[in-house]
Amino acid sequence: MGPPRGCLVDQHWPWWPLLPLYPYGRRPTLVRELVPGQVWSFEQLQGIFYVAVPIRMTVLRLREGLMLYGPVAPTRELLAQLRQLEASYGPVITIVLATSSGLEHKLPLPALARVFPRAQVWVSPGQWSFPLRLPLRWLGFPAGRTQTLFEDGLPHGDQLLWDSLGPVDLGLGCFQDVSCLHKASGSLLVTDALVAIGPEPPELFDADPTPLLFHARDRGDEPLSDGAEQRRKGWQRLVLFASYFQPAFLEVLPLGQVWSQAFQPGLRNPRSYFGLYPFRWQAGWQEAFSALLADGQPKLQLAPVLERLVFPRHRDLLLAWLRRLSRLQGISQMVGAHYLAPMPCTGADFARLAAELEARPWAPSGGDWATLAAIDGRLLDWGLVPGSRPK
Ligand SMILES: [Fe+2]
């Protein structure tokens, strides 16, 4: 097992220090054709401390050319693949940033837009920056060809159906996720709003499974070893990290114990973080992962982070959006910007999800949700998000 395949120069992403996420300056891209001749997925990895999940740009073929939804880092490798699609299906004519809050989707936009100077750029309303509120062109969005969805119109309305989840006021800024149904393929595109998680690690890890192997271990002094079982175990734990930050079955070890297991022979390298592994998984963690699936299969769902930190006091807004989607004709699959895609589904699945979310306790605070609930409580106490703690 070695570093990711492909040329180092071609996978280079020079702007990584703006949002220093794994795999930093090197971003291998996996391209998959989701609907022949119509929809393609361009996936990269991003994460913190080897908690890496796929981030996806979706490419749609429209009558006039190509539309890019959800920017990712435009490395040379990625652009070479995109140029091949342009040669077959026409130029990139539209680039869409459909989220107002997702920094990981926002940061690649200026560089991507510069590569396609003739493309129109559309962004979701309510773009914000912190700590200063800067005009769009100061954020690097190209002046003169950047328009705001809904406020300035909607692109390709004859081929696409647009809807919006939000805005939700988060205090410092707002959350908004603009979804888009590509009528020709039945693909519903969303950014962060909904996810579907598979039981097996995504193909994207095949080139370098290090993040999976890192989390498959039980102690910091265990060497990284490879195998299908380790990859699956690592993936499932990584999903729990990304979903709950600190799930209930995860114990964070005291520093002395972490230190005593570190720097063992074979682990004195940055790939293993020098054996520093401050976690211990307790029996039962597999059930927490299983709860994110439906009988072992992916299901349409709202990520726990969104439920507990974005929508804890806005369930009705979410339900109304899901019910609007359920009435759209012709949905056959969802393509989100993270995790598994395409997720086969129909309008009835969105209605079912809305009914499920309405029937169960909303934004719980116990068990796996405790860390997310504590963050929400802290933000409320500090007055950083509007609202107050429930009595
Ligand atoms: Fe995201």
At 128 the pLDDT is: 73
In angstroms, what is the span from residue 262 Cα to ligand 1's centroid? Answer: 33
Which among 58, 61, 70 has a CA at the least distance from the CA of 99?
70
Higher pLDDT, 257 or 58: 58
Average model confidence (pLDDT) across the chain: 88
Q: Which two tokens stand for residue 346?
A: 């129909």
pTM higher than 0.85, yes or no? yes
pLDDT number for residue 4: 44
Paired sense of beta strands 333-335 and 187-189, if any: parallel
- Cβ-proximal residues to 110 (8 Å cutoff; 6+ apart), any chain: 139, 140, 141, 142
Alpha helices in 147-227, H assignment, sequence order = 210-216
Of the ranges 22-36, 214-228, 283-297, 325-339, which one carries the lowest mean pLDDT score? 214-228
222 alpha carbon to ligand 1 midpoint, in Å? Answer: 32
Distance 338 CA to ligand 1 centre (A): 7
Contact 373, 361 (CB under 8 A): no
Please say whether the beta carbons of 96 and 69 come within 8 A.
yes
pLDDT over threshold 60, residue 2: no
H/E run at residue 106: helix 103-106
The answer to whether the CB of 276 falls within 8 A of the CB of 217 is: no
pLDDT tens-digit series, residues 283-297: 888 999 999 999 999
**Residue 105 Cα, ligand 1 centroid: separation in angstroms?**
6
> Each residue of 357-383: pLDDT tens digit?
999 999 889 888 888 888 888 888 888
Q: Which residues surround ligand 1, an ion (CB under 5 A)?
A: 102, 192
Residue 51 CA to ligand 1 centre (angstroms): 14
